[in-house]
A and B are shown apart, each in its own frame.
Chain A
Amino acid sequence: MKRYLGVLLGVLTAIGGFVDIGDLVTDAQVGARFGWSMTWVVLLGVGGICVFAEMAGRIAAVSHRATFDLVRERLGPRVGMLNLVGSILVTLLTFIAEIGGVALALQLVSSVNHVLVVPFVAAAVWIVLWRAKFSSIENVLGLLGLSLIGFAVALWQLGPDWNDVLHQLAPTSNPGGESWTTYAYFAVALFGAAMTPYEVFFFSSGGVEERWTRKDIGVMRANVFIGFPLGGILALAIAGCAAEVFLPHGISVETLGQVGLPVALALGKIGLAVVVLGFFAATFGAACETGLSVGYSLAQYFGFQWGKYVRPRDAAGFHVIILLATALGAGVLLTGVDPIMVTEMSVVFSAIALPLTYLPILVVANDPDYLGEHRNGRLANVLGVFYLGIVLVVSLAAIPLMIVTSMGQH
């Protein structure tokens, strides 16, 4: 019974923790501008993160090695350093966006300008990362993140014409009449948001933190193959709500408040309050994950002690890095930079960093030294190579598309 409860808790927190500020903003923007025509990108991205998270989780369970360990071991110190610099920049950018997202969620509730809230949010994130248990962070914020189910309920209440939705599912429908380069840019951003590298850094490091063993592979797979796709459905619901409310009027999504507006229309104040709680939990949870991921990446590259499974004094360098990253994030946001713009940049740069993260995972997942009998089977390899090809194309296309479309403006 305890085991089943553990699986259920893991799945629920995987659903609640799946969506972050990048998904919230990008899904709503895409829904408002492209309707349901990018559903295939969400499904593709969810499939990709499932494939690689499962491999990274399996490696963590069997060999107790997290993803950045593998990056340096297989790519060497030079290319590993290149990846480290790129990944840290992307993860820091995402961390900044998440802290900004928490501040924006609190602004929705309090009407206090988000810049004034940022120092308190940053302090709260750091205290939680310093003092709270790893499992408490994951479980409490993951369960609160389930409040975003409000979007699925709102979509049902908005009563979309499902025949029309079915027509829009075709990638060629492009109901907003946007140019195809803009379409491609947002497809790359959406894919980057779904497969952002910090997710595997955090997932695999979390496996080491929680002392996964071979016995936990089943539970890990349940989290990935049930929790992530259900989280993906939440992402689709967010896009769907925006498609129903904004697309017919040609309104684009520029603020977090607009992301929640369809829920307010469908479910009233109570519904809005529930999803704003979801915004807070999802962004605060992701802020914790990205903050930890900055520390994980650096510590795993250089090999010094990391993790919340040891006392802070035993992983002092790791905690100092998190403190500095939090201070830097708060400092950037205090300049008045728009967190939504930071989010848009972070998901595109995520797309660029993907291959250097996922190639070592795929290679090591085939290495009997690490995985023995648990190494990749044929299906995992076919899917891994398929997705590796896609992330390569996406990463090469990201910067040209960003320049050509002026970050999706035209």
Chain B
Amino acid sequence: MISDTTQVIDSLAATQSGGEDTSWILHHILDSKYILGVIPSPEIYLFGIDLTITNHVVFMWIAAAILFIVFRKVANSYKKSLTPKGVSNFMEVLILFVRDEIVKPTIGHGYEKFLPYLLTVFFFILTCNFLGLIPGGATATSNISVTASLAVISFIVTQAGGIMKNGFFGYFKGLIPSGVPGWLLPIMGIVEFLGLLTKPFALAVRLFANLTAGHIVIYALLGLIFILKTYYVAPVSIAFALFIYMLEILVSLIQAYIFTMLSSLFIGMAVHQDH
């Protein structure tokens, strides 16, 4: 038994020393201080926080820049005519999808206040997801820090919306469903409060895990070629990687949709507590 274990450890050590280290997968997925993998970024420290512009920050900025350029163009095209063509028309389809299929049915009355936030979330996540699919790109949304930040923003918007609509005490009183027996109140309070916190946690982990998993699978499939050291596995690896890549396009769309949908749903639940 012991000898078996040592053997395994030995073989593991041998693999790692033999250059078959698999940490390169993580290296590609994790954030790095080398922008696009090659340009070193100056380290910035402020109040003891490492504020270095990392690769993922750069890709978020790229996404933001793309969104700004595209949507300013779309906005300008409306000045010329109310029925724009081309890119504007396509973006209009997406905007109307978010408005009519996600935000309106989930929030209902008074949805206009939250529409800009939810549109931004949808297009930002979508663009970040797609940037990660470009060779050489990095997926900012496959970083738990990024998704957690987005989820916390969603949480704050949800609570702020609920409090603004129902008042501070009214909102927290409304969290506990009416008709609960008195002795259950403390437990229900704790449960509902935990429920509030699990929602953004689920949002963050869902986006992070979905975007990370696809990339890991692609790298693992391609890595088979190098680990097995044979060209024969290449066609299979590439075919499967391509399939996963296609799947990732779908996942990118679906996760942007789901994040927006759930945020919108939580906002709707916070704003209209009675149902």
Do A and B come from the same complex?
no
B-binding residues in A (CB < 8 A): none
A-binding residues in B (CB < 8 A): none
